[in-house]
A = this chain, B = another copy of it.
């Protein structure tokens, strides 16, 4: 459906002030060679464009969406409501409440519309979860990613051992 260079993951955030947090997702995708697109898509400042983004995501070849937002964080859940793709939500901590508002606004979705929520500020894990999702299927890409994930886990473990030595 998508050639090797067309984006497979849509990485969106409610405000460009979320980028210092969200760029760790981009870095994780880069490490695994996953083509992605990154954009500001505000649920509240551009509601219709946001809906359009979600509605068309699949037909444009995206296979996973990562959405970061803070406070009353509506972006991940709203996107999930208009796409059949898996949507990964990243709670971004704002000035008050240390991200607890962001977490609850993202994770406590009603039955029917899931958001795959990661930890507060956990953009790197959002990227890695996108990789796992892409690796869970059939085909060459999935096979390559699975191998990379196994290596990745071995590296993590080796680093942990090295620190412990």
Q: Taking beta carbons and an 8 Å cutoff, which residues of A are in contact with B?
A: 1, 14-16, 24, 39-49, 51, 58, 63-64, 70-74, 77-78, 80-82, 84-86, 88, 93-101, 103-122, 124-126, 128-129, 132-139, 142, 146, 149-150, 152-153, 156-157, 159-161, 163-164
For residue A108, give the distance in angstroms from its CB to the closest CB of chain B: 4
Known: A84-B146, A97-B99. A119 touches B46 (CB 8 A): no
Smallest CB gap from A145: residue in B? B84
Q: How many of these chains are in the complex?
A: 8
Contact A116 B88 (CB under 8 A): yes
Residues of B within 8 A of A96 (CB): 93, 98-99, 108, 119-121
If A98-B97, A108-B72, A109-B125 touch, does A81 touch B47 (CB 8 Å cutoff)?
yes
7 smallest beta-carbon distances between A and B, as pairs: A137-B137, A40-B164, A116-B116, A114-B125, A84-B149, A114-B129, A101-B104
Shortest Cβ distance from A137 into B: residue: B137
Chain B's closest residue to A97 (CB) is B98
Q: Within the complex, which residue of B107, B109, B110, B122 is in contact with A111, where a contact is CB–CB below 8 Å? A: B122
